[in-house]
Structure 1
Amino acid sequence: MNLIGIGRAFAVLISAATFAFLFLHDSWRGDNLFLVPDLILCVLLPVSAALPARYAAPALAFTFAMCTGVFTASVSSYAVRGELGAASLLGVAGCAAAAALLQRHLIVQGRPR
């Protein structure tokens, strides 16, 4: 499986896990600051994954970078309360790595040979 294929699978996994997390932790409240960003990511991730390869790589890199920001804010929110947001922390690590790898892939592909 190539990098874009792995990125597609990871995007679907992160989207499904984030959506499930909203139900499991009763996060559908209006006072949840992360509800709208999480829902945006739940839509953008599978849409980016479904694009043709030429467009999927930059779209996935962008969306994983957005995920990194949202999940970093979530980890920080937990830390301020003295808690460890393990799921968000795993999301930060995975999405940051995926964004970096896809960005590198785009840069290497764009180099003249």
Structure 2
Amino acid sequence: MRASQTKAGPAVKPLIVARAVAAVISVIMVVHVATVALWRDSDPFLVPDTIVAVLLAVCCLLPNAVAPTVMLFSFGWTAGVLTVSVFTYVVRGEFAWPNFGIVVASLAMAVLLHRHGRRGAEA
């Protein structure tokens, strides 16, 4: 075993990265919901944004055995919700760069977790 590997193997690093990204996005979404979404008269994204925040926060706390599967779902959900959000801006002639950044980060983490899962299945 190489010095850079732990007993858990190379699988630990992708999970650490994914947990960190999930935590950052969760905090961003909590701040957004608390400061913007709750105060709008009717925000169609209030419930989906809240679900994103909760799912990603929970992912950070799950054990390594189940975290990748739940994180893959959560990052997919996040990418879907925020893609719809980006396109609600696009149809109004605007572009939501912060939302787009979260979509890209979520998709990158989904790919990372998928590749990590395939590598574990082949071993």
- Taking structure 1 as the reference length, what is the TM-score of the superposition? 0.92
Q: How does 1:89-104 map to 2 (within 5 A)?
A: 89-104=100-115
Q: Distance in 1 between matches of 2:97 and 2:78?
A: 15
2:73 corresponds to which residue? 62
Percent of pairs with identical residues: 34
Q: Is residue 15 of structure 1 aligned with residue 36 of structure 2? A: no
**Is there any run of 5+ residues in structure 1 with no aligned partner, and where?**
none
Confirm whether residue 72 of structure 1 aligns to residue 89 of structure 2.
no
> Secondary structure, in 3 states, of the residue corresponding to 1:71?
helix
What is residue 44 of structure 1 aligned with on the other side?
A: 55
Structure 2 gap ranges (5+)? 1-11
Q: Greater CA radius of gyration, 1 or 2? A: 2
RMSD: 1.3
Cα distance between partner residues in 2 of 1:56 and 1:92:
20
1:62 Cα deviation from its structure 2 partner: 1.0
Q: Deviations for 1:14-34, whole angstroms, at most 9, x for unmatched residues? A: 00011112344x221351111
Q: Does 1:2 align with 2:47?
A: no
SS of the equivalent of 1:107 reads: helix
Correspondence for 2:92 among 62, 78, 81: 81
Question: TM-score, normalized by length of structure 2?
Answer: 0.85
CA 1:36–1:30: 2 relative to 1, 3 Å: farther
Q: Does 1:32 align with 2:46?
A: no
